[in-house]
Amino acid sequence: MDDLTTLARHHLDQAKADPHGRSAHLFLHNGPLRQSVIAMVSGCELDEHNAPPAASLQVLHGHVRLTGGGDRMDLIAGQVQEIPHERHGLRALEDSVVLLTAVTATQGCPTPYEDPATA
């Protein structure tokens, strides 16, 4: 069993020492399910990238901005948000740690963009 509080503290310390200002750790990998802790110092950005079939972002510490599709959403500790199904990015508005939960495959279950009749 992993302790999210311990992981968050550890990776925030690592992010502060990292020249890129971030640290991440995939701690749960079960079939298509992935959970990662991502720590970022204030001002650090994850450039836009593609979204997995399903994902959520929970802020464990700090304040982040999730961007995608021309929209932006500020999230603070304790909040959780579905990740948009388009390219998206993340910026730490203060030293922050997030929990990324992603499903990387949906075999037999269509993604929002698939027609169930052809999936």
Kindly list the structural domains of the chain, giving each domain's residue range(s) and its CATH number in brackets, ordered by start.
2-101 (2.60.120.10)
**Across residues 76-86, what is the average pLDDT?**
93
SS (H, E, C) the chain: CCCHHHHHHHHHHHHHHCCCCEEEEEEEEECCEEEEEEEECCCCEEEEECCCCEEEEEEEECEEEEEECCEEEEEECCCEEECCCCCEEEEECCCEEEEEEEECCCCCCCCCCCCCCCC
Tell me what pLDDT residue 65 has. 97
Tell me what pLDDT residue 108 has. 59
Tell me what pLDDT residue 110 has. 53
pTM, two decimals, is 0.85
In the chain, pLDDT over 70 holds for what percent of residues?
Answer: 89
